Amino acid sequence: MKHILSILLFFFTAPLFAQVNLPSFFSDNMVLQRNAEVNFWGWGNRGGQVTIIPSWSKDTIKVKVTGYGRFDTKLRTPEAGGPYDITVITGRYKKVLKNVLIGEVWLCSGQSNMQWSSNNKLQEMLDELPKANNPRIRLLQISNIATKFPQDNIFDSWTECNSETANGFSAIGYFIAKQLNTELNVPIGIINSSWGGTPAEFWTPANYIEADQELLTNAKVHKPNAGKPYEYATIWNAMINPFAGYTMAGAFWYQGETNVGTYSGYNKLFSTMIKSWREAWKSDFPFFYVQIAPYDYKSPVNEQKGALLREQQVKALDVPKTAMAVITDLVPDVTNIHPTRKKEVAQRLANIALTEVYHKNAVDYKSPVYKSYKIDGNKIIIDFHYLQGKLQVKGKEITDLFIADDSKNFVPASYKIDKNKLVVFNKDVKKPAAVRFGFTDTAMSNLFNEKGLPVSPFRTDKW
């Protein structure tokens, strides 16, 4: 009897011990980064062997499961194409991932302006849904979950892009994918991991926050909110950490509105977050982001918190391989924190990627950003980064342009445009000391480069 029970126990338990488990994002319909050695991992019986057979290759990959029950390997991917299969075998267990494409993978993340979709009655997406059927675009929507401890997996898997799956997906993410697919003519995979009303501390690993007293103090400012997490790192733990290492081309980020109350520490926080993500991926991938839009934050006149947060976002451009899209001209209503023109935001981000990652030949493809100034008599001459062509004004005069002397009393300024420089003056200000342009929460100023991209708001002073 004991012998029979042992035999039965073997047959019932052998498949269990032979089984291999993959993270849910290694699924049918996924996109893997082209021309790369992509990370591939999972869990299995300790000490067991896992065999991986990608249909695009003649190579068979064999990897041992560690004593911690995990295996890690790399798959060498070809040029863009597909669909392919990936067969994963261990013992008697076999799993086949089907309809896999090789192409470009991008992560979209942030708070509500990145998350906003057809669910929010965005007309651009509602109009797009009937024609959103494109099997060469794949979507991975990460569920809004927060945890106190880092997780290894999510509950979501890849889908083909169609009218049903694009419904509720990030509008910005979708339009980026559509433009990249059209211009590169390769499959595009977009991961959307975003959550409305969340500060950047929630997207940053705990050890990075706790290592800096300023970051920790600011992180503790955020109060409990029904239906949302309120502790730093909790969204990182559940919505980024599980797929950290999934090989990708880069990330797009749209966030900052929830951090205006602690604007002075945002550059440090944001730069730290970017660093933490890159270290988790072991890759200095490109990181492109959106400067927050004009909005009435009800700030004190002498402390325009939205403008000061935007200034901090400009400072983050010192982080290598970053770029910023400015959208001060895409806001129909400064009382709505969710501007509805998401397609143009996506186009600006996609154009940055096409130029800086895919080497599209373009000039002045991103907004001018204040570089330096010099005083010349009663004039202040402003120079800009990212500006080769001329400046242009849409309208009769530049709006929201001010000049001051040492009294710190800013008055409306006159100007001249000298090719790619801005000359600012006021006949009553004999000894100018500082210039401010669009430096309020709600300014929708009208100074652009020749490509129609707005100049980022700035100030030359530190008053």
Spans of all domains in the chain: 18-101, 102-356, 369-459
Question: What is the rounded distance in angstroms from the CA atom of residue 431 to the CA atom of residue 379?
Answer: 8
Looking at residue 2, its pLDDT comes to: 40
Looking at residue 148, its pLDDT comes to: 96
242: nearest Cα among 195, 205, 274, 215: 205
Looking at residue 18, its pLDDT comes to: 54
Q: Which CATH superfamily is domain 102-356 in?
A: SGNH hydrolase (3.40.50.1110)
**What count of Cα atoms within 13 Å lies in the side-chain half-sphere of residue 458?**
22
349-404 pLDDT, tens digit each: 999 999 999 999 999 999 999 999 999 999 999 999 999 999 999 999 999 999 99
CA separation, residue 384 to residues 111, 302, 447, 455 (Å)? 29, 26, 12, 9
Q: Which CATH class is domain 18-101?
A: mainly beta
Looking at residue 28, its pLDDT comes to: 98
Q: Which CATH class is domain 369-459?
A: mainly beta
Indicate the average pLDDT of the chain: 95
DSSP code of 456? P
Question: What is the rounded distance in angstroms from the CA atom of residue 1 to the CA atom of residue 12?
Answer: 17
251-281 pLDDT, tens digit each: 999 999 999 999 999 999 999 999 999 999 9
Question: What is the rounded distance in angstroms from the CA atom of residue 179 to the CA atom of residue 185?
Answer: 10
Same CATH fold assignment for domains 18-101 and 102-356? no
- Residue ranges, the chain, pLDDT below 50: 1-17
